[in-house]
């Protein structure tokens, strides 16, 4: 899958790197402003990028720095509850 080399978010440029040496599907490095994605099936890479972009958004907004914030739980809730509902809504609109 061809991903962009970078994205703009909240006035920052976030680099996107494909790296087959990482153990996770992907990760966001707030200090380096970098999203790293492990190569895989195109749909998995697309969903991983979206997941890591949510981490980036929480970080850049400052929300990720709230003590005891269950950030991964919030991002996974978006992945499994919000986005499927949003995608279904958009599919209905296109019909």
Q: What whole-number distance in Å separates Cα of residue 88 and Cα of residue 9?
A: 25
What does the pLDDT read at residue 93?
64
Q: What is the pLDDT of residues 24-56, one digit of tens each?
A: 999 999 999 999 999 999 999 999 999 999 999
Name the pLDDT band for 92 (thresholds 50, 70, 90): low
Predicted TM-score (pTM) of the model is 0.84
Residue 11 has pLDDT above 90, yes or no: yes
Mean of the per-residue pLDDT values of the chain = 91
Q: What whole-number distance in Å separates Cα of residue 58 and Cα of residue 11?
A: 14
């Amino acid at each position: 899958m061809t991903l962009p080399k970078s994205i703009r978010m909240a006035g920052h440029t976030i680099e996107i790197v494909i790296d087959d040496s990482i153990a996770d599907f992907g990760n966001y490095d707030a200090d380096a402003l970098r999203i790293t994605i492990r190569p895989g099936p195109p749909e998995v890479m697309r969903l991983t990028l979206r997941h890591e972009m949510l981490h980036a958004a929480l970080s850049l907004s400052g929300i990720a720095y709230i003590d005891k914030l269950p950030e991964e739980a919030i991002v996974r809730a978006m992945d499994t509850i919000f986005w499927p509902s949003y995608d279904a809504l958009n599919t209905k609109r296109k019909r």
